[in-house]
Amino acid sequence: MLEVYGTQLRSRLLLGTARYPSPTVLSAAVRAARAEILTVSLRREAGGERAGQGFWSLVRGLGVRVLPNTAGCHSVKEAVTTAHMAREVFGTPWVKLEVIGDADTLQPDVFGLLEAARILCAEGFEVFPYTTEDLVVAERLLDAGCRVLMPWGAPIGSGRGLNNLYGLTALRARFPGVPLIVDAGLGVPSHAAQALELGFDAVLVNTAVAQATDPVAMAGAFALAVEAGHAARLAGPIEARDFAVPSTPVVGQAFRG
């Protein structure tokens, strides 16, 4: 089982809740994914509309844990304020901390992220930072009090998969005991399986499921991929080789002299 901040989870697939065709489809996708954690943007809930209240009621009815996020925040002050509001609205110390630094790629502002993480960890928040695969930034976030890291696979919503295999592999090797959740950029279930095969503990998916032709079927496919990837990691994959190695032994076979 996966443990984050003292909570044990059976599922290694976290699901985002934005951009689904309808609340009914979202509910069905969550069940198909067998997800136990849903990310929810405070802006959707606190927009002052009845739809926001109805959405929160829908999420609570699914019986899952909520991970509020600070999506869309571009400054430390904005992210910290949003986290405080989220704790009040959702009644949880958990927060997926996002401080966006680039409007085109939605790459995290790692300097602002680290500052906001220090503030929130000191105030008792249990922070899930959306970060890059940078080893130094990861070390600083852990020193600040984070106990989980959420490196991006690729830009949010791009569907490009794991862009920097070297960086992600190095991150996993450097912090073997830290829960690492690949967040952003996964497009198809094979991307999720690959992340788990590399030793990552879980993945977070939103757009790839919500915007699929059949979101419910895609959610189920991601659930299977995550299970397969984790099982493969535990099974011990062979190392890649530069040359062929015959799978059939040649000892004892007849040959011409």
Please list the active-site residues. Answer: 96
The closest of 145, 44, 22, 151 to 93, measured between CA atoms, is 145
Beta strands at 2-4 and 7-9: parallel, antiparallel or unpaired = antiparallel
Rounded CA Rg of the chain: 20
* Residue-wise burial string across 167-188, b where 16 or more C-beta atoms lie within 10 A, e elsewhere: ebeebbeeeeebbbbbbbbbbb
Look up residue 101 and give its two tokens: 């630094």
SS3 220: helix
Token duo for residue 76: 């430390």
Please tell me the chain's helix, strand, coil percentages from 3-state DSSP, rounded to the nearest 5. Answer: 40, 15, 40
